Amino acid sequence: MGQPASTRAATEVLAGLVERVTFHNEENGFCVLRVKARGQRDLITVLGHAAMISAGEFVQASGAWVNDRTHGVQFRASFLKAAKLHPLSPTMRQ
């Protein structure tokens, strides 16, 4: 039996530029990122897992928005893919 509709979060896709790696655990890959995401005015906090991640990389994530009691609204990624940007890529010229 699934969760009630009121507590089930819809899966969303998010993409953007990593502005800051707030935390990264090298043992299990857990990371907390500040990302400038497409369609978002302010930096957002993304929680996920990545073997390696650094500021300046482009990330694509799928997951759900959560409202943490202590840290506020965050995007909890169930899938996170990071890629280094080529200096002449369209994303770098924005």
pLDDT, tens digit, for every residue of 22-73?
999 999 999 999 999 988 899 999 999 999 999 999 999 999 999 999 999 9
Domains of the chain, residue spans? 12-83
Residue where the block lists tokens 């080529």: 86
Q: Is the pTM value of this prediction over 0.85? A: no
Give the Cα separation of 44 and 32 in Å (integer): 10
From the CB of residue 46, how many other CB atoms can be counted at a distance below 10 Å? 25
Is domain 12-83 in CATH 3.40.1580.10, yes or no? Answer: no
